[in-house]
Structure formats: structure tokens, C-alpha cells
Amino acid sequence: MSVCDTTTPKRPRWRAWLETDTPQSVRQASLQETWRKVLYFRSQPLGMIGLALLLLLLFVVVFAPLLATHNPIAQDLDARLLPPSAQYWLGTDHLGRDVYSRIVYGARTTLRIAVLVAIIVAPLGLVIGATAGYLGGIVDEILMRITDVFLAFPGLILALGFAAALGPGVDNAIIAIALTAWPPIARLARAEALTIRQADYIAAVRLQGASAARIIVRHVMPVCLPSVTVRVTLNMAGVILTAAGLGFLGLGAQPPWPEWGAMVAVGRQFMFDYPWVVAAPGLAIAAISLAFNLLGDALRDTLDPRIG
Amino acid sequence: MIELEVRDLTVAFGPERQRVRAVEDVSFAIARGACFGLVGESGCGKSTVLRVIAGLNRDYGGTVSLRGTPVPPRRDKAYYKRVQMVFQDPYGSLHPGKTVYSQIMGPMLVHKLAGAEQRVDRALEAVGLGTAFRFRYPHQLSGGQRQRVAIARALALEPEVLLLDEPTSALDVSVQAEILNLLADLREREGLTYLLVSHDLAVIAHLCEELAVMDRGRIVEALTRDQLVRGETKVDSTRRLLEASEELGEDRLPPEAPR
């Protein structure tokens, strides 16, 4: 092992394939583009921390039965409000349920809400925003006024109304949150589309005789996608907090099934004497919200088209 | 035979009260296989004329005819199969998120043409880009290479008329000559008809046999290249353009016409 050893270790084949400057197919070229983004993302420590936290959350969700030390809904009234110990890692709540196991299982609810809301909100906002922005005129007016109506309500209040009307439960909470979360995405996509529609490369596509639908789907939406992705990621923190808020108010996940917001709500009564009941789920919510924010910031830098 | 004819073209912008006439009573005709130049200072309306012909501006008076048949303001797909355009700024005219291959493939998919892949290769070859460039993104190309891709995209549909909107003014001087020579070669090889818009008389003189000078929305003078090179002009706006061109160095005006 000499210091002045100049021979670089041989790159594996897949890496050479990803870094060659003469790609052989569109697929290879787009994978190369993704690879460049990955390399750039890896250079952002805060983004990596956010990603690591979210991967940890995913790990917990997948392996919840193996990670939990107790049954999350089994009550043991002899072991009420016990402090953290070797047996109950994060203590027990007022019904003697293990807080750690409840947090592990509660992660499933949280991730389910976050993922489903993102799946509903991102395409909806993207389609509405890109269509309104590109077509303009009367279509834009109608779509944006509808968006304004939804924007006029405070998110949590509208979600409350929907959850109350549709009945409490996680699925209804997801629908309620999604209904309040799409307008900012649509606004953002519209703003992007408004600038893109003036671009020469869109004029060039029009000059090929392409239909408006084709232009929106194949040319406008892909350009809007990075900023929408970033926005949705950053919104996830808010979504999780809204979900926790609904849970806190009793309109989210229903007892006895664990949900972080509901756990905080219950633990509130014992906050001063038995702080771990509130602290653990509260910290979990804070950590995951933070993780989504860190990831969103890093993604914004990574997906910026100016970074090639 | 007349390929493209514009008659009494008038374009106005703005609301009813303060309508501004950007183009007034512009008429010209281009023979098949010819190159016609439209010159003028910025804001004289020359680009507007081009955008009207391209169908990007549908609100106009007068007629545009292709081989003697007037075309409707809302152009159809068949029209775009025959008329294509190359934009001024190759940094803005290529989609940033698509490879060269996808950019040129786009029009083929719209028109559902057979043998699309071979057409892409042929178009790239025609503009002097090897197949090594096929799967690059625009940000991996130089300005000149981008403009070649934009020209290849326009050529891919094998059009009859190419509208050129200052195709070299966003490029380095050294690359400008390359692109102009490429355009001259292509016209000869593919039998294309050009309508070239520029503010630079040197560029016009390099490519076009005939030209019209525009000023404040009107055509003020029609000249042949020989008249232009000899400086035979009767109006001030042409003289101003000539002077501006000479200040940049007379040697940029080609001493003898190519072709």
C-alpha cells in the first residue's frame, strides 16, 4: 500500500455503463441522468439524514411485528403508567399498553396516510395545474376558481368537516386531508406551466402538429414534475401533522388501534406526572416531519434543472 | 412555381382602443427551392410574419398560401408535415428533459410515420451529428450542436419549407458560419425552400437570392442579393442596416455568392 499509488481501482461494469458518455439507448441515457442526480443527492448530508430517517420508518413499518416487544393493544391494568424500563422500553400508558410497541405499530398508520395522500394529491394537482396553465383562458378561470374555493378553507377545518361528515377513521382522514392538500400543488403546477407554455420548445412541439393533450402530458407535465415532487415532499410534514391533529381530535385512527396523534391526545392528561406517554409519540411525529422537510430541501436542490 | 405566398398580411396586437399594428399589408412570394430573406431592425415585425406563417399567431388578416392553396388560420397536421421552423435560441427550443433521440422522435410519433428510427438517424446524419449524440441531453451539447439538433428535428418530417428565425444570432461567430453553410448545403441537397428572418444583412446575403427590408411593420424595399452587395438601395432603413453590417467588418459579406 503506497501513498503514491496512482492506479484507480477498476470500476465495476454497471458503473462504467452508467458513466459512459455515449449511451446506447434512451433508457440508458435516462438512467444516467438519474445516476447523476443520485450522486448529487449523496453529497448533501442533511438530505441523507432525512432519507435515512424515512428508510428507518419504512423498516419499522415492514418489520413491526418483529420489532414490537408487546401486543400494542393488549391492556394490562396492573402495569399502568410505568416509567421506561428494561421490560417497557418507553414506559406504558394509562391502560398499561407498551408505548414503544404502540409507536412501532402507529408508524404503519402514519406512513399509510402520508403515502396515500401523496398518491392522490400529486397527480390531481399536477393534471389540474398543468391543464389550467397551458390552456389558459376560460379553462384556467374555472379550474383556478375551484382551487380557490378549496384554498379558502383552513386545511385542518376542512379536513375536520369532511372527517365529521364521512365518519371518523383513517381512510376518511386520508380523503379529507387529500382534499385540502391538492390546491397548493395545482397552483404550483399552473405557475410552472404558465412559464413553460411560452417556451420555444413548446412552440416547436405545436409546430409538429401535436394535440394540446399530448403537449400537456408529454411535454408540460414532465417539466412541472420536479417542483411538484419537492412540494409534495415538503407538504408531507404538514400532512402528518394534520393527520396527528385529526387523530388528536378523535377523527383519525380509532381506538384501540395506535396512531401517534391520538397517543399524544390521550397522554396529554398525564403529561406532567408521566411525560413519556406524550414525549415518545410527540418526538416521533417531530422526527418524521423533520425528515420529510430535510428530504424535500435536498430534493429541491437535486432536481433543479440548472444542475446538470 | 410559387411555393409559399403571403398576401396583404396584417397583424394587430392589443385591446380594441389602443391596437398596435405590428404588420401592415405585407405581401411576398417565394419560388420553390428559393431562399427569401426578411430583414429589419428589432421590432419591425419580421418575426411576427414568421410566427403567422408558422401558425403560432392565429389572429391575422390576409392570406397565407402554400402552392397556391390558401391555408386556414388554424393549421392542420398536414400543413406541419410540409412547413417546419427553426428557432432563434437553441438553448430555449430544445426540451431540457428529453434526449436528442426523443426530441427528433417526437414529430414522428405525432405523424405516425413508418421507419421512424431510420429517419432519426438520417436526420442526425444530414446535420453532421454522428449517432454518438443520439442519447445525449441538450445540457450536454454546445450551442452549435443544439442548433444542429433543432435543424434535424425540423428536417425529420422531410418538409418542403423551412422557416428560419435568426437561426445563427444566438451562436458564436465561428459556429455561425458552420450553421449557415449547413443550411446552404441542406437546401441544395433536399431541395428545400427557405424563409429566413434576420437583422444581419451578412447572414441574409450568404443564403438568400432575394430579400425584402421591413421597417415599422411594412416592407419598404425588395432587393436581389446582387443589388444588396452592390449597395443599390433607395431607402434609409436598408442603408442603416448596411452601415451596421459594414461596421462589423465588410469581409463578413461574402465576396461571391455560394452556389
Number of domains in chain B: 1
What's residue B256's pLDDT? Answer: 45
What's residue A1's pLDDT? Answer: 45
Strand B35-39 relative to strand B210-215, pairing = parallel
List of E strands, chain B: 2-13, 20-31, 35-39, 61-66, 69-70, 83-86, 161-165, 193-198, 210-215, 218-224
What's residue A8's pLDDT? Answer: 55
Q: Do B150 and A204 touch (CB under 8 A)?
A: yes
Asked if A245 and A156 count as a contact pair (C-beta separation under 8 A), the reply is: yes
Asked if A268 and A275 count as a contact pair (C-beta separation under 8 A), the reply is: no
Question: Rg of chain A over CA atoms, in angstroms?
Answer: 24
| B56 in A contact zone (CB under 8 Å) | yes
Among candidates B54, B81, B135 on the partner chain, residue whose Cβ is nearest the Cβ of A24 = B135
Strand partners, B84: B162
Q: Do B135 and A199 touch (CB under 8 A)?
A: no
Q: How many CB atoms lie within 10 A of CB B141?
A: 19
Asked if B156 and B187 count as a contact pair (C-beta separation under 8 A), the reply is: no
With CA atoms as reference, the chain A residue closest to B107 would be: A208
Over residues A167-202, the pLDDT tens digits come to 888 888 888 888 888 999 999 999 999 999 989 999
Contacts of B97 in chain A (CB under 8 A): 222-223, 305
Contacts of A207 in chain B (CB under 8 A): 54-56, 80, 84-85
Contact map slice: B 73-102 vs A, CB within 8 A: 75-77, 79-81, 84-85, 87-89, 92-97, 99, 101-102
Contacts of A218 in chain B (CB under 8 A): 106
Contacts of A26 in chain B (CB under 8 A): 99, 101-102, 135
Q: Do B102 and A204 touch (CB under 8 A)?
A: no
Residue B148 lies in a domain: yes
Let me know the angle formed at the C-alpha of B255 by B250 and B257, rounded to the nearest 5 degrees.
Answer: 130
Grid cell of A268 as nine digits: 396529554
Contact map slice: A 28-87 vs B, CB within 8 A: 28-30, 33
Q: Do B95 and A30 touch (CB under 8 A)?
A: no
Q: Do B137 and A29 touch (CB under 8 A)?
A: yes
Report how many Cβ contacts below 8 Å link chain A to chain B: 79
Among all chains, which residue has been given the C-alpha cell 409519540? Answer: A281
CATH code (residue B121) = 3.40.50.300
What's residue A194's pLDDT? Answer: 93
Among all chains, which residue has been given the C-alpha cell 426578411? Answer: B38
Nearest to A204 by CA among B186, B147, B1: B147
Nearest to B153 by CA among A114, A200, A293, A242: A200
- Pick among B74, B117, B137, B169 to test the A interface (most A CBs inside 10 A): B137
With CA atoms as reference, the chain A residue closest to B93 would be: A201
What's residue A160's pLDDT? Answer: 80
Domain extent, residue B67, equals 2-252
Q: What is the largest CA-CA distance in chain A?
A: 77
Asked if B145 and B177 count as a contact pair (C-beta separation under 8 A), the reply is: no
Q: What is the largest CA-CA distance in chain B?
A: 55
What's residue A10's pLDDT? Answer: 66
Q: Do A209 and B54 touch (CB under 8 A)?
A: no
What's residue A7's pLDDT? Answer: 52
Residue B40 lies in a domain: yes
User: Per this entry, what is the length of chain B?
Assistant: 259
Residue B53 lies in a domain: yes
Residue B259 lies in a domain: no
Q: Which residues of chain A have pLDDT under 70?
A: 1-10, 305-308
Q: Which residue type, as a one-letter code, is found at position A145?
A: R
Among all chains, which residue has been given the C-alpha cell 413491526? Answer: A64
pLDDT one digit per residue (tens) for chain B, 259 residues: 889 999 999 998 888 778 888 898 999 999 999 999 999 888 888 889 999 999 988 889 999 999 989 999 888 889 999 999 999 998 889 998 888 998 999 888 889 888 888 888 888 988 888 878 888 888 889 988 999 999 999 988 889 999 999 998 888 888 888 899 999 999 998 899 999 999 888 888 889 999 999 988 899 989 888 888 887 888 888 888 888 777 655 444 444 444 4
d(CA B150, CA B112): 20
ipTM of this predicted complex?
Answer: 0.85
Q: Which CATH number is A58-303 given?
A: 1.10.3720.10
DSSP B218: E
Q: Do A29 and B84 touch (CB under 8 A)?
A: no
Contacts of B96 in chain A (CB under 8 A): 201, 223, 305
